[in-house]
Amino acid sequence: MLLTAVRDEFTFYNECRKLSPKTVKNYGKQIDYFLRYLESEKGVVHIEDVETRQIKEFLLTMSKAGRKANYVNDLLKAYKVFFRYAYNEGYTTKLLTEKVQNVKKPKVIIRTFTEQDLKRMGNYYQGHDYLTMRNKVIILILIDTGIRLSELTGLTEEQIKYDYIVIRGKGAKERVVPKSPMLSKWLIKFLAVRKSYFAYRVIPDNIFLSKNARPLTNTMIDRIVKEAGKACGVLDDIRISAHTFRHTYAQFQLKAGLDLYSLSRLLGHESITITQTYLNGLRDKEVLKQAQNTSPLMNI
């Protein structure tokens, strides 16, 4: 059977599974990279002719081309799902990706904001007009909850509860994250200003809107974050982005004693192994201090 026919069938299968349009699109692109390679380099167009060795060779080609380990492993993840489908449907006699290993990822030290960085950025936007209040609350939510950028842009007033926020994350999965009394206070102030600013206008449900009542994009929010970070003197070796707030939130929670499993739930990770990467950024002195606080001898 033609590989392209199996790909189209696989795409339809994913749509029936109610995967997000973004996931379906990404799988399609990643599989197309490999199919083009098979046809142009190996002359293979039928799924019966695909070999495990060819998958390994393609991934090696990507690595040699300078692609990062995360990128190559994302490709392999898509191929494992694709060839699992092909095997289950009887298009292959064996699971072709069964013995294909992930690329070993280098240990990355995640540079996060300091406590002083957070204080300065949280206080950077001062004023009571709509745009200034909006920008301030965006920074405060990122500090207080560690939510993803896409989760922030899609946030609606209906998701804001008394002492927590309902987050709609990847794959339409819901989780809850607590919010502090300080964030609650600023949200009340901001929503009152927002209501007045857009009075007599029909607006989207998104909490964070542009001055023209359009939902903010990821780029717009990153611009708000970068302005605050640069003005507050964040060090050059720290990436000033909304995602860095997520890393910072994770590390602050770990230093405060929150266990990995609970943190994984708060962050909406599918696996605790993803959450473990945040441990890499903890400095030796921070680990030592935490170990002293949890010393068995001092706690018996």
Output the domain CATH number for residue 83. Answer: 1.10.150.130
The answer to whether residue 106 sits within a structural domain is no
The answer to whether residue 27 sits within a structural domain is yes
Query: Which pair of tokens denotes residue 57?
Result: 């060779």
| Residues 6+ positions from 279 with CB-CB distance below 8 Å | 254
The answer to whether residue 29 sits within a structural domain is yes
Task: Give the residue numbers spanning the domain of 76.
Answer: 3-88
Same domain, 119 and 82: no
Provide the domain count of the chain. 2
The answer to whether residue 216 sits within a structural domain is yes
DSSP conformation class of 39: I
The answer to whether residue 109 sits within a structural domain is no
Same domain, 71 and 168: no
Same domain, 72 and 164: no
Same domain, 144 and 41: no
pLDDT, tens digit, 9 for 90 and up, residues 49-103: 999 999 999 999 999 999 988 899 999 999 999 999 999 999 999 999 988 998 8
Same domain, 22 and 153: no
The answer to whether residue 96 sits within a structural domain is no
For position 172, which CATH number holds? 1.10.443.10
pTM over 0.85: no
Q: Which has more confidence, 130 or 266?
A: 130
Residue 137 has pLDDT above 60, yes or no: yes
Average pLDDT of the chain to the nearest whole number: 88
Contact by Cβ (8 Å): 142, 242: yes
Same domain, 133 and 81: no
Same domain, 64 and 175: no
Same domain, 161 and 76: no
pLDDT, tens digit, 9 for 90 and up, residues 176-187: 888 999 999 999
Same domain, 77 and 134: no
Of 223, 199, 198, the residue nearest 213 (C-alpha): 198
Distance of alpha carbon 25 from its chain centroid, rounded? 17
The answer to whether residue 35 sits within a structural domain is yes
Residue 129 has pLDDT above 50, yes or no: yes
pLDDT, tens digit, 9 for 90 and up, residues 190-219: 999 999 999 989 999 999 999 999 999 999
Residue 285 has pLDDT above 70, yes or no: no
Same domain, 81 and 130: no
Same domain, 23 and 123: no
Residue 295: the pLDDT is 46
| Residues 6+ positions from 294 with CB-CB distance below 8 Å | 257
> Taking residues 23-45, what's their average pLDDT?
94
Residue 244: the pLDDT is 92
Q: How confident is the model at residue 283 (pLDDT cuts 50, 70, 90)?
A: low
- DSSP, collapsed to helix, strand or coil, labels residue 246 as helix
The answer to whether residue 104 sits within a structural domain is no
Q: What share of the chain is helix, strand, coil (3-state, %, to 5)?
A: 60, 5, 35
Same domain, 167 and 247: yes
